[in-house]
Amino acid sequence: MRSPAIFAAALLFLAAGMASAQVSEQGITLDTPTGQVAGTLQLPAATDGKQRVALIIAGSGPTDRDGNSTHIPGRNDSLRLLAVALAEEGIATVRYDKRGVGASLPAGPTESELRFETYVDDAAAWIAKLKADPRFSSVAVIGHSEGALIGMLAAQQAGAAAFVSIAGAADGASAILRKQLAGKLPPELDKENERILVALENGTTVDQVPPALVAFYRPSVQPYLISWFKYVPSQRIASLTMPVLIVQGNTDIQVEVAQANGLHRAKPDATLAIIPGMNHIFKHVRADPVLQAAAYSDPFLPVSPLLVKALASFLDKPAPAAD
């Protein structure tokens, strides 16, 4: 006889399969002068008339369209699961591999050529592509973590109908890096770190980098850091004119709730949703390091239904027509 746990798991698997059958996905690409950026279009079940669509932008590093990173063993499929859940709510999505990641690897520039604006321009081009697609009535942007800053800049640049920040920071990248390293470096190295950070914040590259800090400030990555450091999310979100939703999980061990509050202070007319029990990759997990680590490699752990509800409710509201 099967145990109750096995039987329950089988029911959940069957239910997931039935739900997924109601949505479909297909490949979609963005043509650029340096190659194609590859993505996935997740579509709801057939509906009458035009559909809403949201562009999902992944977070930092080698994170692919499904939310998985080569820096983390296993898969969590957070962005794929989110796209499927939104499709079940009648919202189409596009998620994509950033340049240099996954199927978009050939389109990636060398590290020394990469700039933060490269990612912003790609996201803006995706928005323009979707706005021109007769299947869609409006285009929203959902940015996760570092993708939230990319998303807010692209949403403003390309005239998106709405913007969502999930686990996005309010502070600039240099301020966050300074905070993360505070108290963790010996005094002399701390002085060197501050010297380099200040130079990069002022747009100046640094020739002399201590070996212990090369991983952060190697010469080939400094131009990218300079281009990234000049954007402060709390300043940029304040200038958005479209409806804005700020979402943050309160068991996120990477981004604190204080960052979401900082974004909300900068944009008080935005909607703020603090999701209880949700971690950085949208899963319901207690703030326990062991459980958190396991969640980052568990593709069967579903995304928070409270997150899906908050997104669907926000995106379902009539939005001003995009420019």
Give Cα 38 to chain centroid, integer Å: 16
Integer Cα distance of 36 and 119 in angstroms: 13
Q: Which of 226, 246, 250 lies closest to 236, judged by CA?
A: 246
Question: What gap in Å lies between CA 169 and CA 208, rounded to an integer?
Answer: 30
Query: What residue spans define the domains of the chain?
Result: 16-169+240-315, 173-230
* Pick among 3.30.56.10, 3.40.50.1820, 3.40.50.620, 3.20.20.80: CATH of 16-169+240-315: 3.40.50.1820
Q: What DSSP character marks residue 319?
A: -
**What 3-state DSSP class applies to 264?**
helix
- pLDDT tens across the length of the chain (323 residues): 333 333 333 333 344 444 444 679 999 999 999 999 999 999 998 777 789 999 999 999 999 999 999 999 999 999 999 999 999 999 999 999 999 999 999 999 999 999 999 999 999 999 999 999 999 999 999 999 999 999 999 999 999 999 999 999 999 999 999 999 999 999 999 999 999 999 999 999 999 999 999 999 999 999 999 999 999 999 999 999 999 999 999 999 999 999 999 999 999 999 999 999 999 999 999 999 999 999 999 999 999 999 999 999 999 976 554 44
Sign of the Cα torsion 190, 192, 194, 196 reads negative
With vertex at residue 42, the alpha carbon angle to CA 89 and CA 144, rounded to the nearest 5 degrees, is 80
130 three-class SS? helix
Burial class (CB in 10 A: 0-12, 13-18, 19+), 132: exposed
Rounded distance between C-alpha atoms, residue 64 and residue 242, angstroms: 27
